Amino acid sequence: MSSPTLHAGEDKRNAMIAVEQALALQAELAAAVIRHDAFVDPVLRVTGVDVAYAADGERIVCAAVTLDADTLAPIEIATAWGTADFPYVPGLFSFRELPIVLKALEQLRQPPQLVVCDGQGIAHPRRFGLASHLGVVCDLPTIGCAKNRLIGTHDPLKDERGSIALLVDADETIGAVLRTQDGVRPIYASIGHRIALDSACGWILRLARDYRLPETTRAADHAVRMALKEIEGPPS
């Protein structure tokens, strides 16, 4: 009869191996990030993706919402859910979340032209957050648009909409702190893949016409919350 203790030790070793492999892969893929504009212009559709966890912390839901780039009207919504198979390790969240993001994107009838991720791009300790991971793996133009700062420092930011301060880590510009509306808290924009920082900031402002967050994030957040309610059911 096998020992539960032995199983626990084996699981821990397997998790450590997975983390080591992920770190090596992260470093390899980070070198492939394209930090200049390399997307088809004009962009007619912009897709937002957001991920949420069920109360058990293992089931994951992703929503991908495509909007018309001019009117910001929704064109298409896709959701997917699954189980987190990668351990919870800070700095490696994309390895937990990317599989379900890919699953949601695959359900879209029209392929994304530009994707805005609710998370980091290169504004990450190893310059490879979810937006960059998704962009490199799928060869898609992507933008990281985070509600909170993960790393980096910046100069004071003016209160007016459109004010920008560069986000810097170890003397490297990794993103921008961007005020999307007068007097509201800023968001943190960063290159994901195949887009320059100036262009990324321009797109975020274009998508955040009336609120702090861009419509891509707002729409994906709403869709993922609705999907999460469906899989979790009504409160007991």
pLDDT in tens, 129-149: 999 999 999 999 999 999 999
CB 177 within 8 A of CB 164: yes
CB 72 within 8 A of CB 215: yes
Helix (H, G, I), strand (E, B) or coil at 114: coil
User: What is the separation, in whole angstroms, between the first and last Cα of the chain?
Assistant: 39
Q: What is the pLDDT of residue 104?
A: 98
pLDDT-based confidence at 15, cuts 50/70/90? low
- Report the pLDDT averaged over residues 157-177: 98
Helix (H, G, I), strand (E, B) or coil at 15: helix
Question: Which domain range does residue 182 map to?
Answer: 4-232
pLDDT in tens, 172-207: 999 999 999 999 999 999 999 999 999 999 999 999
In the chain, the number of structural domains is 1
What is the CATH number for 50?
3.30.2170.10
**Burial (0-12, 13-18, 19+ Cβ within 10 Å), 7:** exposed
pLDDT-based confidence at 236, cuts 50/70/90? low
**Burial (0-12, 13-18, 19+ Cβ within 10 Å), 75:** middle
CB 78 within 8 A of CB 107: yes
State which amino acid sits at residue 63: A
pLDDT in tens, 46-92: 999 999 999 888 899 999 999 999 999 999 999 999 998 898 899 99
DSSP string, 182-193: TTSPPEEEEEEE
The first and second tokens of residue 184, run together, are: 């509201």
Taking all residues of the chain, what is their mean pLDDT, rounded to a whole number?
92
The first and second tokens of residue 20, run together, are: 């080591």
Of 187, 193, 177, 188, the C-alpha closest to 98 is 193
State which amino acid sits at residue 1: M
Annotated binding-site positions for Mg(2+): 50, 118
- CA distance readout (Å), 206 to 5, 43, 95, 193, 195: 55, 12, 30, 19, 15
Annotated binding-site positions: 50, 118
Q: What is the pLDDT of residue 14?
A: 58
Instruction: Tell me if the bond preceding 42 is cis, omega within 30° of 0.
Output: yes
pLDDT in tens, 27-48: 999 999 999 999 999 999 999 9
